[in-house]
């Protein structure tokens, strides 16, 4: 299995809702990432988990709460979002380590619309 699977593919939520995005991989990768991508812009790093521990939080607002329950799963819990949070949310995974050829495997993303 060489894929990163994200669910749901599309999500519409109100500003008072609580929802979660899910990401799963079975490649044995021990680093997992959340990126946010606005239309026609590059992905922006939000969070990095390494060995199920949060390694990087790029000053993301607390209305986004990541969780890594095991080495294959990564969740992003959403609460009280704003319309400007509407974007494509991408999950990625990679091996851990300084080897320079370690690249990312991306999921197809969740298209989030906040109304």
Q: Give yes or no for a contact between 72 and 24, defined as CB atoms under 8 angstroms apart.
A: yes
Write down the least CB distance from residue 108 to other proteins, Å. 5
Decide: is 94 part of the binding site for other proteins (CB under 8 A). yes
Write down the least CB distance from residue 98 to other proteins, Å. 5
Q: Give yes or no for a contact between 113 and 11, defined as CB atoms under 8 angstroms apart.
A: yes
Q: Which of 59, 62, 83, 103 binds other proteins (CB under 8 A)?
A: 103
Decide: is 73 part of the binding site for other proteins (CB under 8 A). no
Residues 29-48 that bind other proteins (CB under 8 A): 31, 33, 40-43, 45, 48
Buried b / exposed e along 71-104 (16+ C-beta atoms within 10 A): bbebbbebeebeeebbbbbbbbbbeeeeeeeeeb
């Amino acid at each position: 299995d060489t894929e990163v699977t994200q669910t749901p593919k599309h999500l519409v939520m109100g500003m008072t809702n609580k929802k979660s995005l899910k990401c799963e991989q079975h490649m044995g990768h021990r680093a997992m990432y959340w990126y946010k991508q606005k239309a026609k812009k590059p992905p922006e790093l939000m969070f990095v988990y390494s060995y199920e521990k949060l390694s990087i939080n790029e000053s993301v607002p607390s209305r986004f709460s990541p969780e890594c329950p095991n080495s294959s799963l990564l969740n992003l819990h959403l609460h009280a979002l704003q319309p400007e949070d509407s974007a494509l949310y991408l999950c990625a995974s990679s091996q851990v380590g300084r080897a320079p050829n370690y690249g990312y495997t991306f999921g197809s993303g969740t298209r989030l619309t906040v109304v």
